[in-house]
């Protein structure tokens, strides 16, 4: 907690100190030499590691060491940026946090070399890489969303996944499931204190925002209202299990028959395979339920980007690797095949690989399913305060869902005011809460 | 009616039982650390718990040396603890002596009140300003960043002042001055030896504090070759593939010198309370 505070305040330091040239102006030559260090985490790190041999066929002079460097990668990265020492040549960041880092002015400006890829990625992901018209990061993987379900449970209780088209249908199916299983099987995990992931999925799907394009608070809208209404309906129906996401119980639920579905991002499939390999074949995926018939049935959760710190002395070599790993279809496909990192690079989505049946999901062609309507997912206005705002929202939602669950309008009005006060940002004009001044 | 003697014995017995229970409570984590350092990862988390490792896996230590830069971290921790302790003892004793024995110094009381007032400021508040200062001095990721901040701590100065005020007699200082001793020589040759017990006691606290300092190390040490032991151990944590057996082995290794040093210094610490230059 304390450390978070330090890191947050360090963000706000004016970009000063050791000035290094923060721009990469020329394409790397095939003869570029270097010894680059990369910070990454988890399967993403393993995925990069596997790309090294094929990369070195193109750039034999570049040596790469990948550092799966444990706890608090992003905090440590921020401290190293601020101090001007100790940052790697290339680092992974959460896509939604990238704007904060770009604002420090301590990332390499990649505009000259990366501009040509502007249309290669879905706009909702590309936009988090751009700050004031300059490009500071390059999209890596994305997290299009759908609902994972357990086939055996759906069959046993007579539920047709194809019939679930709206959240209304989803709640109804959940009630049926609860009834027919005598309360043994819940539709999903949704913990009172762990609502933020689900809320983010709904928010981005609904077209709602936390901030408007000018960075003002714009949480209160019909779209957000709809998102909260879905949460309320699920909770009121009692079809959720109060299991905290990423807890031991949560992972254990893959193997038990207590939970039937997981509305989650594409990378979640990799986790399932890791934790419950013996459930292979028993899983299926159906598209995210829409808010109303015919509405958007996709959203995004997570995803990451790669950045080059301005202090790196090997920017050319670092870019050569980043470009290879992120902007080459084959490299992106390899990462998806082996590590479930869904390619941000749109051209890969045309590959026949996307139409192959996946045995873990009972032979379903889930890759294609996730790719549908990715271009329709809206861009979120992240600002520097995104993570903090989400924290306040999650707190308020916990309090709301744990209590009487009054009308969502009341929650949103109070939340807008709180966000405005805490983040020192005005409420956008036209907000139904009436707090915004035109 | 119980005799007075029986009552005394019972009371003492009760005291010992309670002390033993408390001691067991405090020793248990060490015991757990010790046995876990010799277990395989799944044995550490086995339920019911295994109270005795079988077999004893010395290989945990071999892989700690092989997979982590623990030797370098030992070296860094030692340099930093020794450096910080030495500098802090010098500055605190110098200041404490001055506050105790120079009543004629202008503004002494106000200055001392100011030093004490800084104790009221929570340490967390100073983390950011100090980090910013070190950034500007380009001192981040150096030993200095770990050694210098906090070396002239208010607590240390207060500690030294109290000890000096009680144990150094003005006559002794005057005698030295008559013999032609300069003020710094007085401090160095007369005051320091008298302060030895206080130095030892404060030194123990400083070394423990420095050796275990994770938060500040996390903030200012940026590259692997500069990592201290706590930082090295902390950064072995990985989302879902944390090598707990290595963490336990490394923690055990990191704790041993501290335990040894503490036992060594403790004798001096206890003896020292009563020792002084002028006896009788």
Per-residue pLDDT tens for A340-367?
889 999 999 999 999 999 999 999 999 9
Q: Are A45 and A304 in contact (CB under 8 A)?
A: no
Kindly report, residue by residue over B215-241, the tens digit of the pLDDT. Answer: 999 999 988 889 999 999 998 887 656
- Which residues in A lie closer than 8 A to residue B222 (C-beta atoms)? 76, 79-80, 83, 85-87
Q: Do A70 and B135 touch (CB under 8 A)?
A: no
Mean pLDDT over the full length of chain B: 88
Is there a single domain that holds both residue A179 and residue A282? yes
Has residue A6 been placed in a domain?
A: no
Kindly report, residue by residue over B148-181, the tens digit of the pLDDT. Answer: 998 999 999 999 999 999 999 999 999 999 999 9
- Which residues in A lie closer than 8 A to residue B135 (C-beta atoms)? 17, 82-84
- Residue of chain B whose Cα is closest to the Cα of A251: B240
Is there a single domain that holds both residue A262 and residue A329? no
Has residue A76 been placed in a domain?
A: yes
Has residue A362 been placed in a domain?
A: no
In chain A, the number of structural domains is: 2
Nearest to A104 by CA among A24, A22, A23, A13: A13
Confidence at A117, pLDDT banded by 50, 70, 90? very high
- According to CATH, what is the number of the domain B59-274? 1.10.3720.10
The answer to whether A9 contacts chain B (CB < 8 Å) is yes
Q: Do A3 and B215 touch (CB under 8 A)?
A: yes
Largest separation between any pair of C-alpha atoms in chain A: 67
In the predicted model, what is the mean pLDDT of residues A64-80? 82
Kindly report, residue by residue over B77-101, the tens digit of the pLDDT. Answer: 999 999 999 999 999 999 999 999 9
Is there a single domain that holds both residue A190 and residue A269? yes
Of A106-110, A196-200, B118-122, which range is least confident? B118-122
Q: How far apart are CA B23 and CA B2, in angstroms?
A: 30
Is there a single domain that holds both residue A278 and residue A237? yes
CATH of the domain at A135: 3.40.190.10
Q: Could you say which of A5, A41, A70 has the minimum Cβ distance to residue B235?
A: A70
- Residue of chain A whose Cα is closest to the Cα of B224: A86
Question: Is it the case that residue A18 has pLDDT exceeding 50?
Answer: no
Final residue belonging to a domain, choices A340, A355, A370 = A355
Taking CA atoms, A431 is separated from A117, A216, A384, A385, A405, in Å, by: 36, 11, 21, 19, 22
Kindly report, residue by residue over A413-438, the tens digit of the pLDDT. Answer: 999 999 999 999 999 987 776 655 44
H/E/C letters for each residue in chain B? CCCHHHHHHHHHHHHHHHHHHHHHHHHHHHHHHHHHCCCCHHHHCCCCCCCCCCCCCCHHHHHHHHHCCHHHHHHHHHHHHHHHHHHHHHHHHHHHHHHHHCCCCCCHHHHHHHHHHHHHCCHHHHHHHHHHHHHHCCCCCCHHHHHCCCCCCHHHHHHHHHHHHHHCCHHHHHHHHHCCCCHHHHHHHHHHHHHHHHHHHHHHHHHHHHHCCCHHHHHHCCCHHHCCHHHHHHCCCCCCCCCHHHHHHHHHHHHHHHHHHHHHHHHHHHHHHHCCCCCC
Is there a single domain that holds both residue A263 and residue A281? yes
Q: How far apart are CA A248 and CA A262, in angstroms?
A: 15
Q: How far apart are CA A80 and CA A39, in angstroms?
A: 12
pLDDT for B243? 83
Which residues, listed in sequence order, are joined to residue A73 by a DSSP beta bridge? none
Question: Is it the case that residue B263 has pLDDT exceeding 90?
Answer: no
Is there a single domain that holds both residue A138 and residue A36? yes
3-state SS class at A136: coil
- Which residues in B lie closer than 8 A to residue A80 (C-beta atoms)? 222
Mean pLDDT over the full length of chain A: 89
Q: How far apart are CA B204 and CA B196, in angstroms?
A: 12
The answer to whether A15 contacts chain B (CB < 8 Å) is no
Is there a single domain that holds both residue A181 and residue A113? no
Question: Is it the case that residue B278 has pLDDT exceeding 80?
Answer: no
Question: Is it the case that residue A396 has pLDDT exceeding 70?
Answer: yes
pLDDT for A247? 84
Residue A99: which domain range? 21-142+303-355
Q: How far apart are CA A344 and CA A325, in angstroms?
A: 11
Is there a single domain that holds both residue A137 and residue A151? no
- Residue of chain A whose Cα is closest to the Cα of B236: A70
> Percent of chain B, pLDDT > 70?
94
pLDDT for A353? 94
Is there a single domain that holds both residue A264 and residue A389? yes
For residue B55, is the peptide bond before it cis, meaning its omega torsion is within 30 degrees of 0? yes
Confidence at B53, pLDDT banded by 50, 70, 90? confident
Has residue A186 been placed in a domain?
A: yes
CA distance A344 to chain B (A): 24
Interface contacts (A, B; CB < 8 Å): 65
Kindly report, residue by residue over A186-236, the tens digit of the pLDDT. Answer: 999 999 888 999 999 999 999 999 999 899 999 999 999 999 999 999 999
End-to-end CA distance of chain B: 46
| Bridge-based pairing state of the strands A130-131 and A134-135 | antiparallel
Is there a single domain that holds both residue A263 and residue A278? yes
Q: How far apart are CA A241 and CA A258, in angstroms?
A: 9
Q: Do A2 and B135 touch (CB under 8 A)?
A: no
- The predicted model scores a pTM of 0.78
pLDDT for B27? 93
Has residue A323 been placed in a domain?
A: yes
CA distance B140 to chain A (A): 6
pLDDT for B242? 76
- Residue pointed to by tokens 């100073």: B126
Is there a single domain that holds both residue A194 and residue A240? yes
Q: Could you say which of A3, A83, A84 has the minimum Cβ distance to residue B218?
A: A3
Is there a single domain that holds both residue A178 and residue A285? yes
Structure-token pair, residue B256: 């041993």
What is the domain partition of chain B in residue ranges? 4-36, 59-274
Has residue A393 been placed in a domain?
A: yes
Which segments of A110-241 does DSSP mark as H helices, in order? 111-114, 123-126, 151-156, 167-180, 196-206, 222-237
Q: Do B140 and A85 touch (CB under 8 A)?
A: yes
Taking CA atoms, B81 is separated from A228, B221, B224, in Å, by: 54, 14, 18
Has residue A293 been placed in a domain?
A: yes
Final residue belonging to a domain, choices A316, A338, A355 = A355
pLDDT for B200? 85
pLDDT for A437? 47
Has residue A60 been placed in a domain?
A: yes
Kindly report, residue by residue over B264-273, the tens digit of the pLDDT. Answer: 877 765 655 5
């Amino acid at each position: 907690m304390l450390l978070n505070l330090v890191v947050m305040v360090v963000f706000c330091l004016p970009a000063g100190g050791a000035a290094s040239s923060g721009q990469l102006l020329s394409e790397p030559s095939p003869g570029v030499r270097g010894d680059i260090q990369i910070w990454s985490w988890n399967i993403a790190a393993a995925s990069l590691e596997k790309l090294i041999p094929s990369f070195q066929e193109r750039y034999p002079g570049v040596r790469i060491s990948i550092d799966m460097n444990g706890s608090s990668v992003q905090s440590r990265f921020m401290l190293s940026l601020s101090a001007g020492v100790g940052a790697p040549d290339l680092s992974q960041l959460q896509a939604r946090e990238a704007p904060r880092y770009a604002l420090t002015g301590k990332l390499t400006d990649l505009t000259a070399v990366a501009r040509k890829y502007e249309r290669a990625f879905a706009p909702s992901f590309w936009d988090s890489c751009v700050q004031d018209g300059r490009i500071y990061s390059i999209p890596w993987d994305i997290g299009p969303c759908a609902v994972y379900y357990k086939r055996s449970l759906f069959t046993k209780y007579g539920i047709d996944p194809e019939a679930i088209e709206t959240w209304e249908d989803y709640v109804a199916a959940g009630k049926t499931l609860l009834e027919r299983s005598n309360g043994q099987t819940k539709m999903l995990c949704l913990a009172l204190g762990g609502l933020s992931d689900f809320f983010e999925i709904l928010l981005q799907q609904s077209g709602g925002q936390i901030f408007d394009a000018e960075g003002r608070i714009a949480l209160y809208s019909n779209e957000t209202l709809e998102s909260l209404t879905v949460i309320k309906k699920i909770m009121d129906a009692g079809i959720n299990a109060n299991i905290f996401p990423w807890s031991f119980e949560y992972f254990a639920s893959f193997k038990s028959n207590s939970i039937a579905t997981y509305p989650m991002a594409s990378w979640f499939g990799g986790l399932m395979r890791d934790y419950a390999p013996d459930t292979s074949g028993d899983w299926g995926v159906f598209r995210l339920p829409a808010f109303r018939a015919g509405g958007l049935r996709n959203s995004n959760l997570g995803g990451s980007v790669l950045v080059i710190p301005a202090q790196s002395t090997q920017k050319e070599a670092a870019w050569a690797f980043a470009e290879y790993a992120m902007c080459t279809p084959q490299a992106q496909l390899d990462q998806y095949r082996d590590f479930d990192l869904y390619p941000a690079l749109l051209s890969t989505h045309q590959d026949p690989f996307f139409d192959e049946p996946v045995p873990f999901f009972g032979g379903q062609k889930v890759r294609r399913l996730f790719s549908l309507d990715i271009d329709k997912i809206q861009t979120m206005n992240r600002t520097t305060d995104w993570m903090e705002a989400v924290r306040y929202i999650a707190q308020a939602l916990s309090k709301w869902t744990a209590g009487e669950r009054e009308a969502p309008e009341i929650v949103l009005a109070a939340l807008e005011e709180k966000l405005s006060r805490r983040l020192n940002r005005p409420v956008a004009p036209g907000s139904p809460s009436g707090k915004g001044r035109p | 009616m119980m005799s007075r003697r029986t009552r005394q014995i019972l009371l003492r017995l009760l005291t010992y039982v309670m002390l033993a229970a408390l001691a067991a409570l405090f020793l248990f984590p060490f015991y757990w650390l010790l046995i876990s350092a010799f277990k395989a990862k799944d044995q550490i988390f086995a339920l019911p718990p295994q109270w005795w490792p079988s077999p004893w896996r010395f290989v945990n230590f071999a892989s700690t040396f092989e997979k982590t830069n623990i030797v370098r971290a030992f070296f860094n921790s030692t340099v930093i603890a020794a450096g910080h302790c030495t500098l802090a003892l010098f500055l605190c004793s110098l200041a404490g002596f001055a506050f105790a024995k120079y009543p004629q110094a202008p503004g002494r009381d106000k200055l001392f009140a100011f030093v004490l007032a800084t104790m009221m400021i929570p340490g967390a508040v100073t983390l950011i300003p100090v980090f910013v200062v070190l950034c500007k001095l380009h001192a981040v990721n150096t030993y200095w960043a770990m050694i210098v901040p906090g070396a002239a701590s208010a607590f240390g100065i207060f500690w030294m002042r109290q000890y000096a005020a009680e144990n150094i007699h003005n006559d002794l200082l005057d005698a030295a001055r008559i013999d032609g001793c300069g003020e710094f020589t007085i401090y160095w040759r007369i005051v320091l030896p008298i302060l030895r017990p206080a130095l030892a006691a404060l030194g123990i606290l400083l070394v423990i504090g420095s050796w275990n300092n994770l938060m500040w190390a996390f903030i200012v040490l940026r590259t692997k070759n500069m990592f201290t032991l706590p930082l090295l151990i902390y950064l072995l944590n990985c989302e879902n593939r944390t090598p707990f057996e290595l963490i336990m082995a490394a923690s055990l290794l990191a704790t041993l010198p501290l335990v040894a040093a503490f036992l060594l210094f403790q004798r001096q610490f206890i003896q020292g309370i009563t020792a002084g230059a002028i006896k009788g």
